[in-house]
Amino acid sequence: MSSLAATEPSERLSDALERLLREANGQPMRIRDMVEALQGRGLQMVIILLCLPFLAPVTIPGISIPFGFAIMLSGVRIAFGHRPWLPGFILNRSLSYPSLERMVTYGCRVHRKIERVVRPRLFAVIDTPGMTMVTGLTIALAGFLLSLPIPPPFPLTNTIPGFAIIFLSLGSMERDGRTILWGYALTALATVYVAAIAVIGKAGAVHLWKFLSGLFH
């Protein structure tokens, strides 16, 4: 694959995603090449890229755990002001062109709608001491929720934390405190939802065990 150009700071997120698809040129693309194409946009841009598969209605198998782990790690690095870094097993992972095309097409549609309303505001949410750490750790929490292997039939277990991470990252990039607050709210919703699934799952298992045990008495 040819060398990828760095992203201009003025380039909108949706435009950067479309450029990734052009650079792929019908071929599989490594996460490493995607990250290189987004140079200059910061760790938040990489996190948004990793979230795209969780927004699309068609999921890509086998990525929730590694991508969730990478987002967790990135959130912690944001919280403590460290430089962007991802482990090699994430960077060397490739996405097929059809998968990349689906997630970029859907991601662009979502981000164009978000970009219309995102603007600098509520700076207290961003500039108050300690808020960068809070936002980074919230991204890490949402990444952890993404990584949980929750089986069907529970819907939206990836979508809610995925959108939370998008709002937190995009709000940080564009200095939009209101968007960050939406990210906090979605993360709280995802946490409650996953906790409810855990409680319902345990209660259901106990009920089934009692029912089966009663058949043999």
pLDDT digits (tens, 9 = 90+) for 178-193: 999 999 999 999 999 8
Taken in order 159, 85, 82, 38, the sign of the CA dihedral is negative
CA angle at 154 for the pair 215 and 107, rounded to the nearest 5°:
165
State percent of the chain over pLDDT 70: 82
Please count the other Cβ atoms lying within 10 Å of the Cβ belonging to residue 97: 15
Q: Choose between 6 and 70: higher pLDDT.
A: 70
Sequence-distant (6+) residues with CB within 8 A of 162 are 51, 54, 55, 142, 146
**pLDDT on residue 205:** 52
- Tokens 């995925």 belong to 162
**pLDDT on residue 184:** 97
Mean pLDDT score of the chain:
81
pLDDT digits (tens, 9 = 90+) for 35-88: 877 765 667 888 888 888 887 655 566 788 888 998 999 999 889 988 777 788
